[in-house]
Structure 1
Amino acid sequence: MMPGLDPRALKKMMKQMGMDMQDIPASEVIIKKPEGGQIVIKNPQVQKMKVPGQGESFQVMGNATESSEIEISQDDINLVAEQAKVPMEKAKEALEKAGGDIAKAILSLERK
């Protein structure tokens, strides 16, 4: 919010301009970076704003931690191993090389 401005007045003003803002309950927000790694925001305050003709935008506030490691769940490993018909170790390696992208990992294993 803007300092010195009543939150109710701001919401009213935004509504008059056709903007709609709503709070989104979330326990964690993860931003995956294209070069690998991720930003994790725990217990965030998330707001979604719809602007006519502009689509939606999200505002996320909270304490962020950056990680160069990508967390790969056992479910993801199982799925890749099953779909590509490879051992779990190969599935995990493929997921790590693909930056956690399941589809990319399966495709890379099927090409071999």
Structure 2
Amino acid sequence: MASVNKSKPKEESIDPISPNLDEVALSVNDEDTTKTQDETAMLKSQKRDDIQNKFDGTYEDQLERLNDRVKILSTELAQEKEKFQSLERKCQTIKTDRDKLKRAMINQVVFISRMQDKYNENS
């Protein structure tokens, strides 16, 4: 008979993870976390810059445009005040004329009434 060599296969020995590998894994995780934090900070900064750029300029440019707008609005307000005062004067003139016409009409009604009374007395 042939003899069968029944030797056990060689077991590969698996060494436990060395402390150095643990440190490397932690270091990689720390780098990933730091990288993620840096990316997040960079994205936030970029977002702030994008918002700032939406206003088409720097703070000083914006301030200058706002000051110019205030000047324009102040001028428009002054013009509107003048128009309002002019309209108030016209309104007052119209009211005065209306009151004069009322008095004149009342005087005419009184005059006509007197004339009617005289006519009635003479008839």
Q: Fold match, TM over 0.5?
A: no
TM bracket, shorter-chain basis: under 0.3
Normalised TM-score (structure 2): 0.14
Normalised TM-score (structure 1): 0.15
**Which structure carries more helix by proportion?**
2
**Which structure carries more strand by proportion?**
1
